[in-house]
A and B are shown apart, each in its own frame.
Chain A
Amino acid sequence: MIKAIIIDDEPLSISVTKEYLQHYRDIEVVGECNDGFRALKMIAELKPDLIFLDVQMPKITGLEMLELIDADELPAIIFTTAFEEYALKAFENNAVDYLLKPYSQERFDLAMERLRSRPRMKQNDVQQLTSSHSSSRIVLRDNGQIRIIALKDIRFIEADDDYVKIYCSEGVFMKKVTLKYYENALPSELFLRVHRSTMVNVNYITRIEPYEKTSHLAILSTGDKLQVSKSGYQLLKEVLGI
């Protein structure tokens, strides 16, 4: 038996998916919920094999929710969405299917067929998908709590092994992604990679001082001092026009 969860903030939208699923005797809907927070709990508890996932939902989007699922708990995913300005292209290239609302039983059946023949989405694929969907905030887990951090509150991001450390007004938080990921995902006019292991929010920079022979230090309004590499300095000069 395949265990499925339907996640959508519109009850009628869930009922269409359930109706279309009636033809599938090997799929059991074990849960349904209306937002990503409840969905994360449900996924951890019920460990479904498949989720139907709406994109625009309360508080966190379906894509942000995916980023918060542990890699080994990631179910197969079929996106259901009414209209997505940016993400469709990314969906097309990925090991996943999306259904545009309102979808027919036939299109639904095709998605189910693809699901059985395609390889499952991995956490890497999720990151590829979410990094192309530029956002104005970062969503992460902190001691089991979900935090939503606005980009404007983030001073800088530092690489730390498999994680990054995010320095913001409310503290320092960890997230399991690479700095490279954020180079793609964050707006390039706001966050600059000034060093192999650092990205900085340009709005916090108050001055730049020479440091040792070939590098510099960026001094932030909060007093933080960040090392700037030679190429990082070039980048800063270009973006800040100095």
Chain B
Amino acid sequence: MQWSQIKEQTAWNDRKDEAERLAKEAELLKLRHQLQPHFLFNSLNSINALIVAEPKEARKMVQQLSAFLRGTINTDHALIDFAKELEHVQLYLEIEKVRFGHRLMVNLTIDDSALPLKLPPLLLQPLMENAIKFGLYGTTEDVLIDVHAKYSGGFLEISISNPIDADVSTQQGTRFGLKAIMRRLYLIYGRDDLLTTHNSENTFVATLKVPQQS
């Protein structure tokens, strides 16, 4: 091959790589920003209710919702501390608790070893959202979401469990969130075994493993 041809070939390859990288980034961004319209409109509806009955609570919820939305439009690609992602999730949980009242309980068991570990931003929240939706729409009883996070053998390991009724075939859409997360993990780490799910009679458990650099 001539030198000029090789140069052309290399440039073409670079462009191809660049195009692929951009496409991947766009897809990642889109996957990350799949904000559920249900969540947004129902939160606004809760605020609408609170404005008259409990104006101070209404104002608090406006601020929580704003902080949460600001967090979701952050376009930084860098990995973040798990502690930071947890803050974002807490905001989300506060809002959901206002919406669903005592029906929704969340137990967070976070090992200190997990806090400084790294993960892509906005990964945990959609997982929580999925568990809450799955739980709330899968049973008429109170819903306890159990979250465990720890460092384990080179991974940040997070498991989230929600109750389900054995006799309920799930309403449409509840599994969609998980597919989007799996796709994101694949695009970032090139692996499809980082998110696993386990179904027992009354519980659904999703376990996420985020590789840590040694």
Interface, chain A (partner B; CB < 8 A): 9-13, 15-16, 19, 34-35, 37-38, 56-59, 61, 82-83, 100-102, 135-137, 147-150, 153
Contacts and interface: CB of A to CB of B under 8 A. Distances in A.
Interface in B37-66: 37-38, 41-42, 44-50, 52-53
Contact of A13 (B37, B46, B53, B168): B46
Q: Lowest 4 CB-CB distances: which A-B pairs, in order?
A: A150-B169, A82-B41, A101-B45, A12-B49
A56 B137 contact: yes
B176 to A, nearest CB: 12
A101 B45 CA distance: 6
Given A58-B139, A58-B140, A10 B169 contact: no
Contacts of A136: 169-172
A132 B100 CA distance: 29
B198 to A, nearest CB: 19
A126 to B, nearest CB: 19
Contacts of A135: 172
Nearest to B61: A12
A52 to B, nearest CB: 13
Contacts of B121: none
A236 B100 CA distance: 47
A59 B140 contact: yes
Contacts of B170: 136
B138 A13 contact: no
Contact of B45 (A16, A57, A59): A16
Contacts of B53: 15, 19
A56 B37 CA distance: 13
Given A16-B49, A82-B37, A83-B38, A10 B140 contact: no
A12 B137 contact: no
B101 interface: yes
Interface in B61-115: 98-101, 103
B201 interface: no
Given A12-B99, A150-B169, A83 B48 contact: no
Interface in B129-144: 136-140
